[in-house]
Structure 1
């Protein structure tokens, strides 16, 4: 970091010399924030860290146990489905009619979970699953989807990494983080072990995740459990503790694609102050990420003039209000011009 240069001679009076040093020290300190100065929060709502719950294989216990319990607590998860797998096909209406209404997010785990024989078959397994999900969710425009590669036996995955990467690009799929050391039951058996991932994310102000398969089913009693079923006396306390962290503003619990989009847009966004007066602040938010795929809101944190207690945030036809706390206001915005008016 550049610092002011101070020169003096033997003729410089000692008192004057110390005054020069003091002024130089003051000049090298951090700049004082000014009204309008704005930064993008690292995570949505300025939460400390992000945490993802991911569920594989479309097991019945997901809609029987996991989703109802998560919905009670206002938590979101990503559910990696196999549309041609037996357990999914038997209860397909649950997944296509009911689950999208809960806010849970469907993701690509290939059509059958059986691997791929060649590139043509991989197009069916990977591309076909993406097409199926987009048809089920019927969004106004195509959106990015999360992809989780299924674990299959040796010799069952017969395309190269480069070929898979090209398929993901073609179908606008985002590869999720790896299963390694993040699998419930397989790697982690207790609530404490799983919460250690959340604490790690908070400590690093980063992102962590947990990958689950089945969840223990008590009612109805089918006489068997889904694959790698996590006990309810581990799963329910985990959800409770994640909810507590969320309520405290320590964790943003979301789905993989929403987290991915926020991170990409955050790194590609700059905020410019167009005008800052006691009456109002005008900002220009610019994002260089492709708006076709990266179109989510970002949380901004703006310094406001002394005396402002509430702020009206205007962007296009949208209006909202937010309270000022410690001289700043936090709000969500899209790329474009944002007007802040204080009172």
Structure 2
């Protein structure tokens, strides 16, 4: 076998047989995704595929497939079609939220291409997002009443988290606690559902389903904490997104909240810049430079790694095995994006 023939590793160091199954599973998810987003109207079909075709890590479907591996009883057991549909439903929900996010964030880039609101317009981006939410519901409806209820609860949490993210912190709530609660809803909920579905439709027992749901929510927290750090630390070539988007909008992510709490007079200028949305480009670049060099970034990274440790700890009752090891490594990969 030549170097060109070696299959890419879905998770670093993953067992080769597991890696092959995951690659096959992701291919099945991609084919099903393309099938369900197709539409008779050429424009609608293209707009619905736009962000999916731009790439992305397919992180949520991967987590569904990995959680399903925990329930595998033999190496020859075929991948259940319900697991594939569950992964597709979760990915469609995620993609739909990105169309809405691009409008709300007034974004310019997404996955290295013009964001949906730029490629089309705000109204079209919102409507395509709605179409994908509907498509996700249709796919999930085939999986039974319990799955539909989980999807509905997840959607409510996604919306509640986004609403709270766009509102001022209530005066009686500690800002960091508020921020972490928002993250749990707007990101943790869907990633928890991805893991939960995989365990459910692979036949895991109830305790394992609960455990993998908790793991998924923790991983979701890590994912968003790392993303918020990357919004400050990376440039558009690295992330495929416009850096400083949260600062432009005045969103207080964890490093911003930590910097704002500083009592050092040397931080007065940074705190002034971080007091609200930053419209001026020169001010934005100054804020990014000051924040990148501030100890708040290291403190936020340390918190992210602590949550990653908590996620790994939830897996302890599952013992050892290729799937569990891959789930542990997956957490590290998510967390270390921000370091």
The normalised TM-score by structure 1 is 0.24
Which structure has the larger Rg over C-alpha atoms? 1
More helix by share: 2
Normalized per residue, which structure has more strand?
Answer: 1
Give the TM-score normalised by the residue count of structure 2: 0.25
